[in-house]
Amino acid sequence: MLVAWMELSSTALGKTKELIKHGRERIEQTIKASGSRLCSYAERVVFLMDRSRSPDKSSQPSTPTDNINLGPSANPNAKPTDFDFLKVIGKGSFGKVLLAKRKCDGTFYAVKVLHKKTILKKKEQNHIMAERNVLLKNVKHPFLVGLHYSFQTSEKLYFVLDYVNGGELFFHLQRERCFREPRARFYAAEVASAIGYLHSLNIIYRDLKPENILLDCQGHIVLTDFGLCKEGMEQEETTSTFCGTPEYLAPEVLKKQPYDRTVDWWCLGAVLYEMLFGLPPFYSRDVSQMYDNILHKPLQIQGTKTVAACDILQGLLHKDQKRRLGAKTDFLEIKNHVFFSPINWDDLYHKRITPPFNPNVAGPADLRHFDPEFTQEAISASITRTPELAASSSSASDAFLGFSYAPTEEDI
């Protein structure tokens, strides 16, 4: 549940209240959808139960007849009965993520299963198709979760994704509270590499947070959950959609001003700060106070951190997006910052650097780093059914034309 909106008395806070009040409904939807962690420090030691996510609610609205045609809809080469669905490993607003083993070869995948009716009811088909587009491009980068193929039935959409079981970065932060600087630098470098690659494809990620950063079985970063990505963003181009997760929103997003790629570098700064100090930089249990902190409160860096760490945090978390680190030459500025001077970026990209932490998983079936809330849940029989696509209602079938995807020999 969201905390109550507080009465703010001072002139500055009054201005903030007016700003927030103007978009209150959209803000509340975004908070709820993004699985906000508005809780005390002590409460964060325990897994949070609300992890639901959905794409942004405030972008250009679509209607049930806004169909996106990406090509033929049918994929005769894939169906739910091709898999043994073993465990639930995640949940979201539109469905679940399951550990599945393909029957023909025993390969393990994470299969994201989404309900068409729910997507259409919330008019989010545009975002689902955009997520699919981004996933198709991720196979080219080592720190982005990739899509192997996708298919659909009359009721559901299926993303067949890379399976990684080293746990969310959030899980490990919960357990250890914060990381030493070398470990935080390694994770931040791999995340920055992934974000830089997305930017090179003119994609803004917009929802960087520890819950969306996974570790693979060796301890390398894998960025996931692309429901809030914005495609077609050239270097100088801006957008103004209000979306993201409260703790990590950049000031320009809160102000509903046009923003650019630098929102991702703000989020990187917030995640790096959280890795070093245990909480997001402007965190408050009261959401309106937190928003005011993001807009007006100077960044506070306490403890014995290196000069380089302090400097990069100040640069990434600069409230003026035009003066933020990354505003001029994007990822190149991040790479060249003194904080990352110990990193050989070529070795990092090719995974020649040994991760500072090994999740020590015994194999694909080792689920020790997944929340028992998910893994103990029964798998619905409807997930394994393969109803005929032709049995779908016209709105459900037409809305997801071209969703299905199978790689070509060139892709493989």
pLDDT tens column, 249-304: 999 999 999 999 999 999 999 999 999 999 999 999 999 999 999 999 999 998 77
**What's residue 396's pLDDT?**
53
Average pLDDT over residues 329-356: 98
Q: Is residue 121 annotated as involved in ligand binding?
A: yes
Q: What distance in Å separates the CA atoms of residue 64 and residue 412, rounded to the nearest whole number?
A: 35
Indicate the Cα dihedral angle 343, 344, 345, 347, nearest 10°: -120
> pLDDT above 70 covers what percent of the chain?
74
Indicate the Cα dihedral angle 241, 245, 248, 254, nearest 10°: 40
Give me the domain span that covers residue 197.
Answer: 11-47+176-349
**β 221-223/213-215 pair status:** antiparallel
pLDDT at 58 over 80: no
Is 375 among the domain residues? no
Of residues 62 and 157, more confidence is placed in: 157
Token pair for 67? 């169909």
The mean of the pLDDT values for the chain is 80
Q: What is the CATH number of the domain that holds 283?
A: 1.10.510.10
Beta bridge partners, 84, equal 101
Q: What distance in Å separates the CA atoms of residue 319 and residue 257, rounded to the nearest whole number?
A: 13
Is 83 among the domain residues? no
- 10 Å CB burial of residue 114 (0-12, 13-18, 19+) is buried
Is 307 among the domain residues? yes
Total-model pTM: 0.79
Catalytic hit among 207, 264, 292, 330: 207
Backbone torsions φ then ψ of 147, nearest 5 degrees:
-95, 125
Is 62 among the domain residues? no
Q: Has 330 been annotated as catalytic? A: no
Of residues 102 and 52, more confidence is placed in: 102
Angle between helices 11-22 and 24-33 (to 10 degrees): 70
> pLDDT above 90 covers what percent of the chain?
52
Beta bridge partners, 337, equal none
In terms of DSSP H, where are the helices of 317-370?
A: 331-335, 345-349
Average pLDDT over residues 399-405: 60
Q: What is the pLDDT of residues 167-207, one digit of tens each?
A: 999 989 989 999 999 999 999 999 999 999 999 999 999 99
Domain count, the chain: 1
Is 392 among the domain residues? no
Indicate the SS3 state at residue 161.
strand
pLDDT at 215 over 90: yes
> Of the candidates 8, 151, 148, which has an alpha carbon nearest to the alpha carbon of residue 76?
151
Of residues 175 and 341, more confidence is placed in: 341
Q: Which of the residue ranges 85-99, 119-133, 172-186, 330-344 would you say has the lowest mean pLDDT? A: 119-133
Q: Rounded to whole angstroms, what are the CA distances from 98 to 51, 80, 106, 114, 142?
A: 15, 12, 15, 11, 22
Of residues 62 and 104, more confidence is placed in: 104
CB proximity list for 102: less than 8 A, separation 6 or greater: 82, 83, 108, 109
**What's residue 373's pLDDT?**
85
Q: What distance in Å separates the CA atoms of residue 270 and residue 275, rounded to the nearest whole number?
A: 9
The angle formed by the CA atoms of residues 359, 361 and 362, to the nearest 5 degrees, is 160
pLDDT at 27 over 70: no
pLDDT at 338 over 80: yes
Asked if 214 contacts 206 with a C-beta cutoff of 8 angstroms, the reply is no
> Of the candidates 196, 226, 317, which has an alpha carbon nearest to the alpha carbon of residue 266?
317
**What's residue 30's pLDDT?**
42
Is 212 among the domain residues? yes
Is 98 among the domain residues? no
Token pair for 119? 């997507």
pLDDT at 343 over 90: yes
The terminus-to-terminus CA distance of the chain in angstroms comes to: 45
Q: What distance in Å separates the CA atoms of residue 299 and residue 318, rounded to the nearest whole number?
A: 9
Is 239 among the domain residues? yes
**What's residue 401's pLDDT?**
62
CB proximity list for 322: less than 8 A, separation 6 or greater: none
Backbone torsions φ then ψ of 137, nearest 5 degrees:
-85, -15
Question: What length does the chain have?
Answer: 412
Asked if 192 contacts 221 with a C-beta cutoff of 8 angstroms, the reply is no
Average pLDDT over residues 202-217: 94
Token pair for 110? 């994470």
